[in-house]
Amino acid sequence: MTRLLIVDDSPLMRRLLSEIFAAEADFEVAVARSGAEALAQLATFKPDVITLDIHMPGMDGLACLDRIMVERPCPVVMISSLTAEGADETLEAIALGAIDFVAKPRGPVSIEIETIAPALVEKVRAASRARMSRATRLADRVRLRTSAPALGRTRTPASRGAAKPVAAGGSEGLVLVGTSTGGPAALDKLLGQLPADFPWPIVIAQHMPASFTGALARRLDKICALSIVEVARQTPLVAGTAYIGRGDADVLISRRAGALVALAAPSAPELHWHPSVDRLVASAMQYLAPERLIGVLMTGMGADGAQAMAKLAEKGGQTIAEAEESAIVWGMPGALVALGGADHVVPLDAIAARLTGLIGR
């Protein structure tokens, strides 16, 4: 039985969320009306997973999450609004240690809650099984126990060089990255380790709503040596840049006037997740030889990308699957490994070095 703590200041939301999970046989549910109540239940109820509203009076969701990750780290799924402010707050929550998020219904909650119920249950169930790093906020926990003053956390991006267009002919290539649950933090680690002069463009399919991918690109662009942009329209691909596909659409590779470009295409209705990793990889294979492609599949629920990357490996491309030891959810990379399509299985903090080595060969 999975112990779920629902934290929301709205009586209606607490009731509706409780009803959704009470209908599932594998959840034991408790509720908290505030961040303070949630912290008190960490020791009494000992939740396996938490849903946490961002906007609450008094201690808001971010402040509550911060204390959870210091006092008793456990998987947290944020309940967020589909706004620019909500996107920034949600990404801050993920940086603090949240596993995933679910967007609130845009209309009347009591009517539209059923539209998010399947995704909510799926994400909370996956989060409850997610791997929490033993090092999560370790320094902060030590400071809490020793009453030492908290230290600010800052990151200074490396200086950037001018982006260089991909050369025509045999020297061009692409890195294709797919990720879902736990992806923003994984992308922070991967992209943050790559230099500004990384020789191949990187195109990323991160499962996320459209209102979030732009905020994710801006956030990563501030902390990485690479340039990071969202693909919202036809975009030329240049070295030293990572391209994040716009949410609720699919990101595809094509050629225009002989040059490689990324396109934001309407999402394929037959596919479950968007931007689709499978569709991204399949499109790239139409315009580049397999040996000029490297596929990277990282943390995420389901199996998106596994079939296409296995085909890429079979045809001579290189594929990297994040190792189970570092993946928050080993669904997508695990599916690639199960298909026998992973040429390299490495932990998250070693993927950047493996990429650099493969391209430098």
Location of each CATH 3.40.50.180 domain in the chain = 169-359
Q: Which of 9, 60, 221, 304 is catalytic?
A: 304
pLDDT over 70 (residue 360): yes
- Please, are residues 126 and 103 in contact by the beta-carbon 8 Å criterion? no
pLDDT digits (tens, 9 = 90+) for 89-120: 999 999 999 999 998 877 677 778 888 899 89
Mean pLDDT computed over 140-148: 43
Cα-based distances in Å from 249 to 39, 95, 175, 210, 213: 38, 24, 20, 8, 11
The confidence score (pLDDT) of residue 90 equals 92
Percentage of the chain lying above the pLDDT 90 cut: 80
Mean pLDDT computed over 306-324: 98
Give the position of tokens 């340039």. 227
Q: Which of 34, 80, 81, 180 is catalytic?
A: 180
- Please, are residues 86 and 60 in contact by the beta-carbon 8 Å criterion? no
Is 272 a residue of the active site? no
- Please, are residues 226 and 196 in contact by the beta-carbon 8 Å criterion? yes
Which CATH class name applies to 2-145?
A: alpha beta
Model confidence at 160, pLDDT cuts 50, 70, 90, reads very low
Is 304 a residue of the active site? yes
Among 174, 168, 171, residue whose Cα is nearest residue 286: 174
Q: Which of 8, 81, 188, 207 is catalytic?
A: 207
From CA 244, how far away is CA 212, in angstroms rounded?
Answer: 11
Cα-based distances in Å from 252 to 29, 137, 280, 288: 42, 37, 5, 13
Mean pLDDT computed over 326-334: 96
Query: Cβ–Cβ contacts within 10 Å for residue 349, how many?
Result: 11
Type of residue found at 78: M
Provide CATH code, domain 169-359. Answer: 3.40.50.180
The pTM of the whole model exceeds 0.85: yes
From CA 205, how far away is CA 329, in angstroms rounded?
Answer: 16
- Please, are residues 267 and 249 in contact by the beta-carbon 8 Å criterion? yes
Model confidence at 82, pLDDT cuts 50, 70, 90, reads low
Angle at 64 between CA 62 and CA 69, to 5 degrees: 95
Location of each CATH 3.40.50.2300 domain in the chain = 2-145
Is 248 a residue of the active site? no
pLDDT digits (tens, 9 = 90+) for 240-268: 999 999 999 999 999 999 999 999 999 99
